[in-house]
């Protein structure tokens, strides 16, 4: 069974696939750690073959691997030589510009077997990405550069699509798949990976991506649209410190303009979700993060106008709703159209 890719190319279904995962870019390994909290499905279920229909998966991730040194690096070298078979390349961490590294290098993974010299992450990406069935960037550093790419950084760091080009296509005919987040929301990544594995098996259509190469079903809504506090916003109820359950836009929340689903999905197994539990949204999933959203604790410029408009309208709506709420809290009058109780006992207290 096969599935046409976005370029019209036909990918062949696979029954066994490797996941070559490098977190050696500018990274804190936080996306790997976050991913281990996924439940829909868990990485353990995928690797142990407990999800029906998926190809057999071999995971190579340095944080989780029992192998070390040359033994861990062996599948990467085999893949570079075209000897590994089908694989998905997962890139974690932003990509430095090795053309401005002076006399050294910014970041590396393993050594050249012949020379013993370090192999830069950039060289690994150059070798592996064109051969990979799919290429996935995990976390905001790998997708759009993230914190390492902020103004003034000396490394020239960038996201994977800026490094390989936004028109890049993998051997499976796919664009880069971006799953941003700082760190990535665990189930967002595992759901994306599972879709790709089903697609590789010939059991799913081509993964739908938006213009920023994010899965559409995960990043199509804003934080605000799923926020537990959105009712306060609409009624002009705003927090002025972090001890309030009200909307946090005046203390720096960017939720109304940020594509992220954690207010709906939570962080781990449905629990949490930044503004739901008292954290302002600092837009960590966005291509403009962090520069466009700093300083983090200040009210977003657009928030001043929208919250001012909402304050007047919201006060009126809140007043009208409180009246309706009082009447909704009363039973209909025909529930009380009998002079006496219909129960068989005599109350010891005066009746209303
Ligand atoms: S806390 Fe943020 S996301 Fe939630 S309602 Fe307020 S502005 Fe929107
Ligand atoms: S709600 Fe905002 S800060 Fe929290 S994960 Fe989503 S984008 Fe990042």
- Determine the residue of 262, 267, 290 to mutate for testing ligand 2's pocket, defined as the one with the most ligand atoms within 8 A of the Cβ atom: 262
Atom 2 of ligand 2, nearest CA residue: 281
**Residue in 121, 25, 143 with CA at minimum distance from that of residue 76:** 121
CA of 22 to the centre of ligand 2 (A): 24
Atom 8 of ligand 2, nearest CA residue: 284
Torsion of CA 99, 105, 109, 115, to 10 degrees: 100
**Residue in 257, 241, 184 with CA at minimum distance from that of residue 215:** 184
CA of 196 to the centre of ligand 1 (A): 32
Q: Which pairing describes strands 56-61 and 16-22: parallel, antiparallel, or unpaired?
A: parallel
Give the ligand with the smallest distance to the CA of 236: 1
Specify the ligand 1 atom closest to the Cα of 281.
Answer: 2
Specify the ligand 2 atom closest to the Cα of 283.
Answer: 7
- Strands lying side by side in the sheet with 56-61: 56-61, 16-22, 87-92, 134-138, 177-179
pLDDT of 165 strictly over 90: yes
- pLDDT tens digits for 294-314? 999 888 988 888 888 888 889
Mean per-residue pLDDT over the chain, rounded: 93
Atom 6 of ligand 2, nearest CA residue: 260
Under the banding of pLDDT at 50, 70 and 90, the label for residue 31 is very high
E-only strand ranges, the chain: 2-4, 10-12, 16-22, 56-61, 87-92, 108-111, 118-120, 134-138, 177-179
Atom 5 of ligand 1, nearest CA residue: 230
Give the ligand with the smallest distance to the CA of 146: 2
Give the ligand with the smallest distance to the CA of 239: 1
User: Across residues 64-91, what is the average pLDDT?
Assistant: 97
Long-range contacts of 146-149 (CB under 8 A, 24+ apart): 146/26, 146/94, 146/182, 146/289, 146/290, 147/182, 147/290, 148/26, 148/93, 148/94, 148/96, 149/94
- Determine the residue of 240, 248, 251, 276 to mutate for testing ligand 1's pocket, defined as the one with the most ligand atoms within 8 A of the Cβ atom: 248
pTM of the model: 0.92
Cα–Cα distance for residue pair 296/96, rounded to 1 Å: 25
215: Cβ contacts below 8 Å, ≥ 6 apart: 177, 179, 188, 191, 192, 195, 207, 208, 209
| Element (DSSP H or E) covering residue 35 | helix 30-35
Instruction: Name the least confident of 148-162, 259-273, 298-312.
Output: 298-312
How high is the pLDDT of residue 191?
A: 98
Angle, CA 253 vertex, CA 250 and CA 255 arms, to 5°: 130
Cα–Cα distance for residue pair 209/175, rounded to 1 Å: 9
CA of 185 to the centre of ligand 2 (A): 9
User: Is the CB of 250 within 6 Å of ligand 1?
Assistant: no
How high is the pLDDT of residue 339?
A: 79
How high is the pLDDT of residue 11?
A: 54
pLDDT of 334 strictly over 70: yes
Specify the ligand 2 atom closest to the Cα of 259.
Answer: 7
pLDDT of 258 strictly over 70: yes
- 121-128 vs 69-80: helix axis angle to the nearest 10? 40
CA of 289 to the centre of ligand 1 (A): 18
User: Across residues 91-116, what is the average pLDDT?
Assistant: 95
Under the banding of pLDDT at 50, 70 and 90, the label for residue 75 is very high
Q: Which one is predicted more confidently, 301 or 121?
A: 121
pLDDT of 15 strictly over 60: yes
CA of 284 to the centre of ligand 2 (A): 5
- pLDDT tens digits for 202-243? 999 999 999 999 999 999 999 999 999 999 999 999 999 999
Residue 46 and residue 194 in contact, taking contact as beta carbons nearer than 8 Å: yes
Give the ligand with the smallest distance to the CA of 299: 1
User: Is the CB of 180 within 6 Å of ligand 1?
Assistant: no
User: Across residues 34-43, what is the average pLDDT?
Assistant: 97
User: Across residues 164-174, what is the average pLDDT?
Assistant: 98
How high is the pLDDT of residue 5?
A: 43
CA of 254 to the centre of ligand 1 (A): 7
pLDDT of 163 strictly over 60: yes
Look at the chain and count its residues: 352
pLDDT of 8 strictly over 90: no
The pair of structure tokens assigned to 320 is: 């009208």
Give the ligand with the smallest distance to the CA of 283: 2
Angle, CA 214 vertex, CA 210 and CA 218 arms, to 5°: 100
- Determine whether 103 is exposed, middle or buried from the number of CB atoms within 10 Å of its CB (0-12, 13-18, 19+): exposed
- pLDDT tens digits for 128-151? 999 999 999 999 999 999 999 999
How high is the pLDDT of residue 352?
A: 67
CA of 253 to the centre of ligand 1 (A): 6
pLDDT of 194 strictly over 90: yes
Q: Which residues line ligand 2 (CB under 6 A)?
A: 181, 223, 258, 260, 262, 274, 281-285
Q: Is the dihedral of CA 119, 123, 129, 132 positive or negative?
A: negative
């Amino acid at each position: 069974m096969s599935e046409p890719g976005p370029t019209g190319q036909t990918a062949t279904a696979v029954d066994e696939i490797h996941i070559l995962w490098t977190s050696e870019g500018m990274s804190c390994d936080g996306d790997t750690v976050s991913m281990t909290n996924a439940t829909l499905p868990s990485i353990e279920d995928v690797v142990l073959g407990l999800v029906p229909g998926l190809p057999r998966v071999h995971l190579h991730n340095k944080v989780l691997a029992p192998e070390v040194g040359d033994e861990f690096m062996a599948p990467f070298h085999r893949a570079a030589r075209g000897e590994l078979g089908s694989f998905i390349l997962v890139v974690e961490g932003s990509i430095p510009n090795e053309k401005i590294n002076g006399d050294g290098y910014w970041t590396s993974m393993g050594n050249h077997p012949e020379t013993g010299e370090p192999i830069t992450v950039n060289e690994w990406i150059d070798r592996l990405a064109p051969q990979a069935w799919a290429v996935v960037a995990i976390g905001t550093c790998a997708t759009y550069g993230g914190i390492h790419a902020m103004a003034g950084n000396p490394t020239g760091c960038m996201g994977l699509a800026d490094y390989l080009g936004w028109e890049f296509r993998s051997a499976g005919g796919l664009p880069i798949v971006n799953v941003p987040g700082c760190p990535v929301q665990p189930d967002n990544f595992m759901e994306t990976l599972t879709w790709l594995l089903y697609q590789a098996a010939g059991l799913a259509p081509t993964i739908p991506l938006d213009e920023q190469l994010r899965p559409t079903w995960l990043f199509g809504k804003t934080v605000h649209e799923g926020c537990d506090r959105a009712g306060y916003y609409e009624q002009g109820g705003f927090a002025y410190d972090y001890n309030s359950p009200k909307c946090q836009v005046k203390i720096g929340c960017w939720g109304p303009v940020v594509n992220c689903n954690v207010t709906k999905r939570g962080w781990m197994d449905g629990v949490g979700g930044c503004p739901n539990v008292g954290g302002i949204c600092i837009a960590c999933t966005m291509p403009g993060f962090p520069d466009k959203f700093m300083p983090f604790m200040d009210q977003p410029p657009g928030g001043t106008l929208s919250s001012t408009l909402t304050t007047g309208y919201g006060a009126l709506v809140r007043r009208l709703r409180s009246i309706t709420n009082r009447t909704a809290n009363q039973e209909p009058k025909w529930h009380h159209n009998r002079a006496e109780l219909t129960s068989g006992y005599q109350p010891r207290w005066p009746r209303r």
